[in-house]
A and B are shown apart, each in its own frame.
Chain A
């Protein structure tokens, strides 16, 4: 990846975070921590790797993405708005009565391929999309983003078995390994580790990346694309709340909000990052 491309994707990641935080602030609620750990993953997918067209959001042969950790809608909605699927101003209606932008991701929103909310189900949906692509010959890929806490749900492993069995090599799943869940750290609540070995046992190609390094993420996607006969999981080492010191590795910001006087400090940190990348 050339340095301009790298900088561009880092900038989109920073903008996704800022836009997501503005969205949450306006709504008065929303999940910060898990949205922020996704900045670079969404930047690479929506601004580089996925075959999508904001002018034709439902085109038949587009790549699909299921955000199985559907509560991180602020990040996905921000990415879609910035990518041009709908106006950024529309984000100010997030979680409001007449808006299509519900708290958890919604299939009716332009650019969203599947609703999600009840954890552990999105990988199965993405497996179905990948199987359909092969069966019908559309030839597109399916992406899925799972939370690390989410893989405590048993259905994830039903889906993992199924993808391995049907050899869906057009499926690329990410595990956002930010190491925290609502009640505390994964290690305290219920350890799903080791993650990669579990997928490997079900016949998956396993890649591990720094989930905040756009180059590593992009390279992993390219590697996944050429693997034959196996689905790929990219276990992304991430920081929950990445990009704002107050949020980072802080379990209070799974679903919690900053205090009134903390908001400007948070935005200042995000603005400084954007300015640095723009400069």
Chain B
């Protein structure tokens, strides 16, 4: 059974587990105790570099390593990884197609009390719009472990999103679960509606499925851990077979998972889509759970939106 720990903690452990490779170099910007690269730093100090509070320099130093054949991993909060150094990631990582992995931790509202300046709700959108970027948003410790391994084996630029709070491990309770970049995972089956979620909203989607079940509505739940390249087949199949979709993400409803799914749906099986996410507003200081409720990132809201999507069939 996977542990109920944060995705950043799970990532830090996975990096040590799969980091015994002399090509791998790890960089942090004075946040190793938060991004959890501290475990790697302790185990492999010769392949860890703290660059200090200088994220732009960190990304480009890593790019320099990657030009020489290294697998270079940079770590900072998502707000800095996707926002502050967008130019460096776009021009010096993605454009030259370098093997640099950008790990953005403390993403979304659930960074909590630190407040809106640190609550990145735009990173999925910003990163997926860059040509050639792979965007991975794992939901729990089991998935993080497998996603980290897959990311390290994948050659090319990648954005990997982790979160601050402990989350329930759910994926390992599904017998045929397996992780592959670009392949969504159908966790439960249903014929009335499909809930497509990423990150910690996967757990909420499963709870929403149970709420709907009580009302006689059978929901299919898909864990869409890779936002780019998006799994078109699983979306098209869901649209055809269930006729309605609701997306759920800890991100602005603009540009993220909901947009990625819609881009597929409107061009193929054009069924109703509803969105659960942050409704284009900034966050606020509060406990993570309070924030999720305040901004509607709840099983109840997912269930409501699911019913609305069904009504629009």
B47 at interface, CB cutoff 8 A: yes
Contact B61 A113 (CB under 8 A): no
Tell whether A115 pairs with B64 under 8 Å between CB atoms, given A155-B56, A158-B56: no
Q: Which residues of A contact B126 (CB under 8 A)?
A: none
Interface string of B62-90 (1 = CB under 8 A from A): 11110111101000000000000001100
Contact of A128 among B47, B65, B91, B95 (CB under 8 A): B65
Report whether A121 and B56 are in contact in the complex, using a CB–CB cutoff of 8 Å. yes
Whether the Cβ atoms of B64 and A155 lie closer than 8 Å is: no
Q: Closest residue to A144 on the B side, CB-wise?
A: B64
Scoring B51, B52, B61, B72 by chain A CB atoms within 10 A of each residue's CB, the highest score goes to: B61
Interface size on A, residues (CB 8 A): 34
> Least Cβ distance of A203 to chain B in Å?
14
Q: How far is the CA of A161 from the CA of B51 in the complex (A)?
A: 10
- List which B173-200 residues lie within 8 A (CB) of chain A: none
Interface stretch (choices A74-82, A85-93, A129-137, A189-197): A129-137
| B 21-61 binary contact with A (CB < 8 Å = 1; else 0) | 01001000000000000000000001101011010110111
Would you give the shortest CB distance from A60 to chain B, in whole angstroms?
A: 7
The tally of residues in B whose CB lies under 8 Å from a CB in A reads: 28
Interface residues as binary, A152-171 with B (CB distance below 8 Å gives 1, 0 otherwise): 00110011011001100000
Q: Which of the residues A113, A121, A136, A159 comes within 8 Å of B91, measured between beta carbons?
A: A121
* Chain B residues positioned under 8 Å from A142 (CB to CB): 64
The reply to whether B60 and A128 contact each other, CB–CB distance below 8 Å, is yes
> Are the CB atoms of B56 and A125 closer together than 8 Å?
no
Interface of A is mostly: helix
* B67 cross-chain contacts in A, Cβ below 8 A: 64, 107, 113-114, 125, 128-129
- Do B25 and A121 touch across chains, with their CB atoms under 8 A apart? no
- Residues of chain A within 8 A (CB-CB) of B168 are none
Distance, CA A124 to CA B56, complexed state (A): 8
B54 surroundings in chain A (CB, below 8 A): 155, 158, 161-162
| Contact (Cβ within 8 A) B70 A132 | yes
- Which residues in A have their C-beta under 8 angstroms from that of B64? 66, 114, 124-132, 142
Distance in angstroms between the alpha carbons of A122 and B61 in the assembled complex: 9
Contact A121 B92 (CB under 8 A): yes
Say whether A51 faces chain B, with CB atoms less than 8 Å apart: no
Q: Does A118 sit within 8 A of B, measured CB to CB?
A: yes
Q: Given A114-B63, A115-B91, A155-B60, are A162 and B70 also a contact pair (CB < 8 Å)?
A: no
Question: Is B88 a contact partner of A121 (Cβ separation < 8 A)?
Answer: yes
Task: Evaluate whether A125 and B87 lie within 8 angstroms (CB atoms) in the complex, with A60-B69, A131-B49, A158-B56 already known.
Answer: no
Q: Which residues of B contact A126 (CB under 8 A)?
A: 64
B96 on interface, CB distance cutoff 8 Å: yes
B95 contacts A162, C-beta separation under 8 Å: no
Q: CA separation between A64 and B59, bound complex, in Å?
A: 18
Nearest-Cβ distance from residue A264 to partner chain B, whole angstroms: 38
Q: What residues of chain B lie closer than 8 Å to A161, measured between beta carbons?
A: 52, 54, 57
B61 pairs with A128, CB closer than 8 A? yes
- Closest-by-CB residue of A relative to B50 is A165
Identify the closest chain B residue to A138 (Cβ).
B68
Which A residues are in CB contact (< 8 Å) with B87? Answer: 118, 121
In the complex, what distance in Å separates the CA atom of A216 from the CA atom of B48?
A: 38
A-B contact pairs, 30 of them (CB 8 A): A64-B67, A108-B96, A115-B92, A115-B96, A118-B87, A121-B60, A121-B88, A124-B59, A124-B64, A125-B60, A125-B63, A126-B64, A127-B60, A128-B63, A128-B72, A129-B65, A131-B61, A131-B64, A131-B65, A132-B64, A132-B65, A132-B70, A135-B46, A142-B64, A154-B56, A155-B60, A158-B54, A159-B61, A161-B52, A161-B54
Q: Which residues of A contact B (CB under 8 A)?
A: 60, 64, 66, 107-108, 113-115, 117-118, 121-122, 124-133, 135-136, 138, 142, 154-155, 158-159, 161-162, 165-166
**10 pairs of A and B residues whose beta carbons are closest in the complex:** A128-B64, A124-B60, A158-B57, A128-B61, A158-B54, A125-B64, A129-B64, A107-B96, A132-B68, A155-B56
